[in-house]
Amino acid sequence: MLSEKHNEKEAEGAVRELTYAEALREAMRQAMEKDDSIFLIGEDIGVYGGAFGVTAGLVDEFGPERVRDTPISEAAIAGSCIGAALTGMRPIGEIQFMDFITLSMEQLVLQAAKLRFMFGGKAKVPFVLRTPGGSGTGAAAQHSETLENWFVHVPGLKVVMPSNAYDAKGLLLSAIYDDNPVIFVEHKLLYKTKAHVPEEMYQIPLSQSHVAREGRDLTVVATSVMVQRALQAAEQLSEEGIEIEVVDPRTLSPLDDRPIIESVIKTGKALVVHEAPTTGGYGGEIVARIAASEAFDYLDAPIRRLAGLDIPIPYNRTLEYHTVPQVENIVEEARKLVRGEY
C-alpha cells in the first residue's frame, strides 16, 4: 500500500526528501506527540541537539523533562531506560558514539536482555537505545567502533541497522513500539544522506530483510553504510554486464534469513560486506546461515567476506580509508567471484 502511495507522489513530482538524521527526528517527534510514555534521554541531546544534531529542536517542542540531558554516565543512561521501561514508559536513549556503549554493557547485556526471560516472561523492557557507529570521520580508534555484533550475540536484544533515511524512520518507529530492548545502530556517514521519506507514520517491520537491488550474478549481503557502497558498486559492475543482487538485513537480530538464502539459490554466489573487523563479525553469521541452508547445493564459488581489517581504526586519513571496505574493493571482489577466480 505504502509503495503505491510513493509511486503516486512521485508521479505528481512531489517526492519529499529528508536526510537520515531528519527522518530519525521526525519518527521521534511523531511518536512523542502521540504517546506521553515516550521520552528521550542521553548526553547533550537537549539544547546542543545531540553530537550529530539528530535531536535538534526537540527540547524546544517537548521540554527538558522529555528530552533529558544527562551527565556523562552511560551505565546509568542504559539503566534509566531499563527501569523506566519496566514500569510503563517507552524510553529512547542515546549513546553519543557507539564506542561509549561499552560503558553500558552490563546493564544492556546482563539486565535488559535477560530480565523478561528470567522473570518467566512476566515483565517487558520496551526501549530503544540509539547510537551512531562507524569510521570515516577521522575520529580515531575510540570514536569509530562498529560493535553491532557484540549485541547480536546476546539473546533478548534486538539489533537494527538502517542503511538509508527511508528505512531509518520506518525501523525506528517499529523499534519504539516493539516490546523488547532494541539496539538501534545508526551511521555517522549516513546522517546527511537523503531519501524519499513519507510524512505519515509508517513502520517497517523488524526482522524483515530487504532486497535493495535485484541481480542474477552474485548476492551481496551488506549492512548499514556498506549497503550504499554495494549499490554504488552495483552501478559500476552493471556497466561491465555484471548484475549483483544487494540484500540488506536491516534487522541483524533476530535475522530474517529467507531472502538471503533465496537470493543465493538464485545467484549461486555470495559476498558479505560489513565495516566491523572481519574476525568475529556479523559476516560469519551470514556465511554460516547460507552454508547450513539448502543454498549450499547451489553454490558455485566459496562464500566470501569483505569486512574491516582486524585493527583498531587509525587516525590518519589514508590508513582509515584502507581499513574498511570501499566501493572499489566491493567491485573488485565481486568481479573475482563472478569470474570464478576463487
Partner 1 sequence: MSEAIQSITPDRARELLAAIGHEKAREMLETMYLIRAFEEKAEELYALGKVHGTMHLSIGQEGSATGASNAVRSGYDYLLNHHRGHGHCIAWGGNVNFMMAEFLGKETGYCRGRGGSMHIADVERNNLGANGIVGGGIPIAVGVGLSIHLRQTDQVCLVIFGDGAANEGAFHESLNMASIWNLPIIYMCENNQYAMSMSVKRAFKVEHISERACAYNIPGVTVDGNDLLAVYEAISEAAERARAGEGPTLVESVTYRWRGHSKSDRQLYRTREEVKEWQARDPIPRYANRLIEAGIITQEDVQAIHDEAYQRIEDAVEFAENSPEPDVSTIMDGVYA
CB of 220 or CB of 313, closer to partner 1: 313
Return d(Cα 189, Cα 162) in angstroms, integer: 12
Nearest residue to 306 (alpha-carbon basis) of 336, 282, 333: 333
Q: How far is CA 202 from CA 175, 195, 205, in A?
A: 12, 15, 10
> Is residue 181 at the binding interface for partner 1, with CB under 8 A as the rule?
no
Nearest residue to 160 (alpha-carbon basis) of 138, 137, 127: 127
Rg (CA), the chain: 20
Nearest residue to 225 (alpha-carbon basis) of 276, 180, 157: 276
> Is residue 294 at the binding interface for partner 1, with CB under 8 A as the rule?
no
Return d(Cα 145, Cα 147) in angstroms, integer: 6
> Is residue 317 at the binding interface for partner 1, with CB under 8 A as the rule?
yes
- Total residues in contact with ligand TPP, by rule CB under 6 A: 6
Site string for ligand TPP, 98-137 (x = CB under 6 A): --x--x----------------------------------
Output the smallest distance, CB 139 to partner 1, in A. Answer: 5
Give the range of 32-40, 64-72, 213-221, 330-338 binding partner 1 by CB under 8 A: 64-72
Output the smallest distance, CB 7 to ligand TPP, in A. Answer: 43
> Is residue 75 at the binding interface for ligand TPP, with CB under 6 A as the rule?
no
Q: How far is CA 113 from CA 78, 116, 151, 158, 188, in A?
A: 12, 8, 9, 9, 26
The residues of the shown chain that bind ligand TPP, judged by CB under 6 A, are 43, 72, 74, 96, 100, 103
**Which residues would be at the binding site for partner 1 (CB under 8 A)?**
43-44, 46-48, 51, 69-76, 99-100, 103, 137-143, 309-312, 314-320, 322-323
